[in-house]
Structure 1
Amino acid sequence: MAGRQAALRLRARLGEVEPGGTVLIVGGGLTGIETATEIAEAHPDLEVAIAARGRVGGRLSDKAQRHLRGALDRLGITVHDHADITCVEANGVVTAAGGEIRAQVTVWTAGFTVHPLAAATTLKVSGTGRIIVDAGMRSVSHPDVYAVGDAALAEGAGGRPLRMSCASANPMAWLAADVIAARLTGRKGGNPAPRAVMTKSVAGRAY
């Protein structure tokens, strides 16, 4: 689930599954949860399950997790917590423990990627193709280039890179805008501390 074309392919595939067929969503973040619940609501004749390496919705608060579990139960969605998926096959998946979860359709929502455009330039990028930026969201190799969101690799709390998420991307954009405005107007400004950026992880898409 990374864009419109993938969603359209999935819709077409779900339309081919006979009533009682099984659909497994891999990934316990917000994208996986939304995908599972939307499919369960739109296709009540299908058996929907969701699997996560940790807990489905494990980054949510206790109250939110209780609400989530109630919604998943209400929709009849089977939950596979602590299921580390190591292989996707035609008829399901294989876990690290050697178990199998059978499914006619497997939907992958557990990963991120960035557009290859930056890696094809002379910008300094990380091993995953993200533009490496300083505390002001400026490229460390090309200071006239600013990058934010999933396309950028910025240092967060404890020196760890900020997660690819909308929770990080929005504050990164605000910071970059402030830095650019200060630079253009000659005033001092632009909080140079991306560590202040929220680091809560959410499932999402990279553009």
Structure 2
Amino acid sequence: MADIATSGGGDHKKGGKKRGKKLSTRVDFTPMVDLGFLLITFFMLTTSMSKPSVMDINMPVKDNIEEKDKTQIKASQAMTILLTGKDQIVYYFGIGEEVENPLVTNFSANGIRKILLEESRKRNPALDSIRIYKQMANDRKITEDEFKANYSRIRNYKNGLIILIKADDKSRYKNLVDILDEMNITNNGRYAIVDIAPGDLKMINDNPYVQK
């Protein structure tokens, strides 16, 4: 609060000269300090702490697995993605190591994402219905459990695209995270991270469009 103290001025004796009153102002900031602590307490109690975003990856156990227990992949369903340096991607369709014309792309929206969307829709036309189910869930026409069940069913369609992801020593950890993000963006639920083969490395090194 502001206090104003006044003191009389001038000499009241006869013939004395009158002087103006002197005013002194003192501002009390004690209530402002209390208000500051109240605001700090309010924001501490009402603000939610930011939670780190994490990505769960289930990697296969490197034990001896019998041949009958291995997942069989049809070459007609497979797409192989090779992550290499300079944020580049070499890809081909199939699971063999001998491919005549592997293609090169990047992580842009018109790059690997466009390719994944086009190829996924060819093999699984129901992918476009995920957006419809999501809107229905937002409008509360279906429950969250119903949406998750349909979402998982469509993404894991047995005749859909199967993607094999391989990374060479020149690629960065960021490249692996980015390609996994693309799997979620394009609603591809059937993919695997596998070791790169010597034939794949030769394919990268011999490709004139790959920046060395």
Could you say which TM-score interval applies, normalised by the shorter chain? under 0.3
Alignment TM-score, normalising by the size of structure 2? 0.25
Which of these two proteins has the greater Rg computed from alpha carbons?
Answer: 2
Which structure has greater helix proportion? 2
